[in-house]
């Protein structure tokens, strides 16, 4: 179910310029922060969904943490 929620969240980000701007900030670079924001606006998304999606195409791994690639919503 969370894979569907992630796809819906990606579609919402693609469709909303304001949400894209929010997701492009440094505060939203960390996968955990983005997952938390997605949950706050109604999407049942967890950090691992971003990591698992499309063989990890949305994220970069660094120092035991995952960060989203710039404009990650275009890669979904």
Q: Number of folded domains in the chain?
A: 1
Q: Give the pLDDT confidence score for residue 29 in this predicted structure.
A: 78
Q: What is the pTM of this model?
A: 0.88
Its domain, for residue 28, covers 2-71
- Residue 30: its pLDDT value, please? 87
Residue 69 to residue 41: CA distance in whole angstroms: 21
pLDDT of residue 1: 54
Is 17 a domain residue?
yes
- Would 32 be classed as within a structural domain? yes
What distance in Å separates the CA atoms of residue 69 and residue 57, rounded to the nearest whole number? 8
Tell which phi-psi region holds residue 42, choosing left (phi > 0), alpha (psi between -120 and 50) or beta.
Answer: left
76 within a domain of the structure (yes/no): no
Q: Is residue 44 part of a domain?
A: yes
> What pLDDT shows up at residue 21?
93
Query: Low-confidence residues of the chain, pLDDT below 50?
Result: none
Q: What is the pLDDT of residue 2?
A: 79
């Amino acid at each position: 179910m969370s894979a569907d929620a992630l796809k819906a969240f990606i579609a919402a980000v693609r469709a909303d310029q304001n949400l894209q701007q929010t997701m492009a900030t440094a505060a939203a670079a960390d996968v955990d922060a983005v997952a938390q924001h997605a949950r706050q606006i109604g999407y049942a998304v967890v950090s691992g969904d971003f990591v698992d999606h499309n063989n990890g195409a949305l994220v970069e791994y660094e120092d035991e943490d995952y960060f989203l690639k710039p404009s990650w919503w275009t890669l979904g």
